[in-house]
Amino acid sequence: MTAPQTYDVCVIGSGPGGYVAAIRAAQLGLSTACIERESLGGVCLNWGCIPTKALLRSAEILELCHRAGEFGVGVTGITADFSAMVERSRGISRKISKGVAYLFRKNKVDHIQGTARLLGAGRIAVTTGAPGSSPKAPGHPWRGTGDAGEQTVAAKNIIVATGARARSLPGIELDGDVVIAYREALTLPALPGSMIILGAGAIGVEFASFYRSLGTEVTIVEYMPTLVPNEDADIAAELARAFKKRGIKALTKKKVTRAKVAGGRVTVDIEPAAGGPSETLSADKLLVAVGVTGNIEDLGLEALGIGTSRGTIEVDQSLQTAVRGIYAIGDVIGAPALAHVASAEGVFVAEHIAGHSPHPVPYDAVPACTYCHPEIASVGLTEEKARAQGIAIKVGKFPFGPLGKTMAAGEYPGLVKFIWDENSGALVGAHMIGPAVTDLIASPTLAKTTEVNAESFIHTIFAHPTFAEAMKEAAEDATGMAIHI
């Protein structure tokens, strides 16, 4: 091995947690390196958040073209170039990955290409070589590297930010061709005629929305009673209505017990979640979207006594593992598995290492966004959870439909739902489905982390005509003051 190079901080993984942690550490004057065995930006920039949103934007444009007549615009010869959509999304990912490389150079973060393994406190072995030269397990977000060489990196502090990969279920084997995960769904060589999607969380409904826009026959199978089961019941019900209108079939309270591939198609056996007679479905593709599991294998965790649980690394309140000086952030430490949470954790750990007193990550005020059509966004507790916790609440709702902006834009008439603490006036939860809600959620998220209450919303002047007016009216509805409903 070559002689170790010593850093103040070394980050393993360059996703939205890892690269942000590395840059923040460098900004604070710490010598920093980041080890990555595939492309800078991790799953989010290369195989998750960014390319999926690029595809969904293409689908949105296609649907608007089909509706052009509603807006007095004549359009003929509308076609969908699936391969061009995929290539556009890949190009955007490549561009943003290069942007991370630029930020590393700007902030003097050393980028080390290779596969990391912990040797002990302060020491990391890095196998270097050509990225992607080793076989990749289906559904795994990272390829291995060649065995061209090995070096040792020394660091006073180590941050593990290795992310997560798609998981499957017993009896369902990902083959990367017919039975696929999100990574393969982003780069299919041709548009499938039919697709079964297992799981109705954010990933499942986003791909359902995209592929349905292009004409694929889509069936969602979900074990829980509703689509997007982590969302408020009113939001889930509204999404079900919207998807039904779009021709997306949703089978809830169902489970897939077996998937068999033959002749380039997949046949799945489905049973009621509570038990009962089974049915059989077949399609060109089966997309498994039942969640993720942390990338904890082959890191050397067990040898160091670093605890793991259900595919994640155990950490304390400072996000430090059982070994002093080794931290973990992002999806590899478990839910909420969201890019913006990983980034917040990265900043927190970097500032903690630098000797600052950073604000803890506000896990009770994390916004969640789903970019299907219509969009979904939420923060805080659902009405059901708030009542289960015995919180005295006031609920206000307002549909987007009556808004002038909604009518002018020809957008889907979803709704805003605010849940307020009846005693303190504090925001307990905000839940939205409809136009631009993934941007609108920033306002109630700010309310959750400050002293903004229902009265503040009511007495704030919202610009007209905007989609944001629905939030003001929802706040007013909780106190019986809504004007336009």
The answer to whether the beta carbons of residues 236 and 261 sit under 8 Å apart is no
Judged on CB neighbours under 10 Å (0-12, 13-18, 19+), 215 is middle
The DSSP 8-state label assigned to residue 473 in this structure reads H
∠466-470-474 over CA atoms, to 5°?
160
The full DSSP string for 18-32 is HHHHHHHHHHTT--E
Judged on CB neighbours under 10 Å (0-12, 13-18, 19+), 438 is middle
**DSSP E strand stretches across 247-374:** 249-252, 254-262, 265-272, 279-283, 285-288, 292-294, 308-309, 312-313, 326-328, 368-370
Nearest to 339 by CA among 438, 449, 227: 438
What SS3 class is residue 115? strand
Judged on CB neighbours under 10 Å (0-12, 13-18, 19+), 220 is buried
Measure the CA–CA gap between 198 and 196, rounded to whole angstroms: 6
| Residue type (1 letter), 437 | V
Tokens 């990933």 map to which residue? 203
- Out of 66, 356, 359, 464, which one is annotated catalytic? 464
Q: Is the bond into 138 cis (omega within 30 degrees of 0)?
A: no
What SS3 class is residue 254? strand
Give the strand pairing for 179-180 and 312-313. Answer: unpaired
| Residue type (1 letter), 32 | T
Alpha helices in 122-192 (DSSP H): 182-185
* 464 in active site: yes
The answer to whether the beta carbons of residues 233 and 378 sit under 8 Å apart is no
Measure the CA–CA gap between 381 and 391, rounded to whole angstroms: 10
- Residues identified as active-site: 464
